[in-house]
A and B are shown apart, each in its own frame.
Chain A
Amino acid sequence: MLLEGKNLTFAYDRKKGNILTNVSLRIDSREPAAIVGPSGFGKTTLCKILSGYLRPQAGEVLLDGKPLPKKGCCPVQMVWQNPERAVNPRLRMRATLADGQQIEDRIIRELGIEEDWMNRYPQELSGGELQRFCIARALGRDTKFLIADEISTMLDMITQSQIWNFLLKETKERGIGLIVISHSEALLSRVAGRRLTF
């Protein structure tokens, strides 16, 4: 599958100028790709546009030549940097995970999520444990692209390598495209085959 961004232009507040101006990119799902750019370039904003959280003022996002569907589960899913903010503090983890679209037990098992964690509230789990739930939630049946925006920045090295080894295997088996953002050069050289530099 091919994910394209064409002439994307975006501003949160037009008076303060554009965050992104005429950005174009093409990402093939067969090879994990890294988006590399200087600090403050708007990488997170670009990710949000590609996964449909934000609508660009100009330009379009195409998946295999078609725009992203407006309704239903978005085929481009994004995992956020801070897992504590990405789960509802008033829901048990089982309910949060149920937001995902038919998550297979295999994924839950391979991510090392324990049955006991399901009945807990997020405050009772560590950041690394929560991030596993967030990743599982994003890997529903129809997910075609997964955007990982600094997903292991806040985690320890062991959790980081567990998560990335799982993600590399899972996306390869299911043919899911992987888009990686990380400030760590060493991590990028392990996980991303291609670099899109801005």
Chain B
Amino acid sequence: MKESGKRFGWNQRQRARLLLVFSVLFLVTVAAAGYFCRDASMVTDFSRKNLAPCFAYPFGTDWMGRNMFYRTLTGLSMSILIGVSAAAVSAVMALILGIAAAALGKRADSVISFLIDMVMGIPHILLLILISYACGKGLKGVIVGVALTHWTSLARLIRGEVLQLKESEYIQIAERLGHSKLQVAAKHMLPHLFPQFVVGLVLMFPHAILHESSVTFLGMGLSSEQPAIGVILSESMRYLIMGEWWLALLPGIMLVLTVVLFDLGGTSLRRLLDPNSVHE
């Protein structure tokens, strides 16, 4: 790390900032572009079906002559929206439960800790399928499912941080100086929790997106007329043996790219928000 930093003449923070800006730009562009080509992605035209990638159709077309580039963008943008909203709900749950566990005394702590362990103990995808199925599949099912399964690790992190902060001398002093628990939490704890929360939220996106696509791929998520990335991938399986590789490969690569960029963005954000980050 140190070596390469020197070669480019940049320090770690500058690189982190650049990565963050790049991933945010990419993701916003994909999300917006998907929204605008939603109608175009639905157009079927049997005169151009099963075309391999070419200049006019960079991702090729499918058996109904739909432009796969538009379909992929729309699917990704939908995944991003679902991922962001589910992760946001999940992170807020984590924040509330994490603080409650640490602040409301022993009994609340053991109940919440038990809940965390229980949810963590069940494989995500299994729980997700169950919840999504119970909520009647579709958009609502997926969002509720993802939101209810992803809060645990962040909640545990926040609980630990609050427990540690409660013991710190400066917080005990602030309480003896007559400030209420709420005032102390807002003034002294939030500046510590906020970076953890934001980074946790951003790093939850890629998980949420991947789980959304997996559930949809398995047929327990979004319905098949939606241009979701999971739907695209599962449908393409049938055509893969016929040599139509582009139907699976290119949307798959885009999904991986999106997830990796979210992860890079989150890691860069953590570097920037942590004042004790390495001084390279």
Question: Do A and B interact?
Answer: yes
Complex-state Cα separation, A51 to B175, whole angstroms: 12
User: Interface readout for B168-186 with A: 1 if CB under 8 Å, 0 if not?
Assistant: 1111111011110000000
- The answer to whether the Cβ of A155 comes within 8 Å of any Cβ in the partner chain is no
Count of A-B contacts judged by CB separation below 8 Å: 51
CA distance A52 to B173 in the complex (A): 10
A-side contacts of B192, CB under 8 Å: 90
Known: A85-B168, A96-B170. A77 touches B188 (CB 8 A): no
**CB-contact partner of A101 in B171, B173, B177, under 8 A:** B177
Query: Which residue in chain A gives the minimum CB-CB distance to B172?
Result: A53
Chain A at the B interface: mostly helix, strand, loop or mixed? loop
B179 touches A99 (CB 8 A): yes
**Given A90-B275, A91-B191, CB of A74 within 8 Å of CB of B170:** no
Asked if B170 contacts A85 (CB within 8 A), the reply is yes
Contacts of B6 in A (CB 8 A): none
Tell me, in angstroms, the Cα distance from A96 to B169 when the chains sit together: 13
- Docked pose: A78 CA to B176 CA in angstroms: 9
Query: Which bucket holds chain B's interface residue count?
Result: 10 to 19
B177 touches A100 (CB 8 A): yes
Report the minimal beta-carbon distance from B174 to chain A, rounded to whole angstroms: 5
> A99 and B168: CB pair below 8 A?
no
Give residues of chain A (94-117) contacting chain B, Cβ–Cβ below 8 Å: 95-96, 99-101
Is A32 an interface residue when CB atoms closer than 8 A count as contact? no
- Given A90-B192, A91-B188, CB of A80 within 8 Å of CB of B176: no
Give chain A nearest CB distance to B280 CB in angstroms: 18
Nearest CB in chain B to that of A95: its residue: B187
**A25 beta carbon closer than 8 Å to chain B:** no
Known: A53-B172, A91-B191, A99-B173. 20 other contacts (CB 8 A): A52-B176, A71-B178, A73-B178, A74-B178, A77-B176, A77-B177, A80-B169, A85-B168, A85-B170, A86-B169, A88-B168, A90-B275, A91-B188, A96-B170, A99-B174, A99-B177, A100-B177, A101-B177, A137-B177, A140-B177
| Interface of B toward A, CB cutoff 8 Å | 168-174, 176-179, 187-188, 191-192, 275
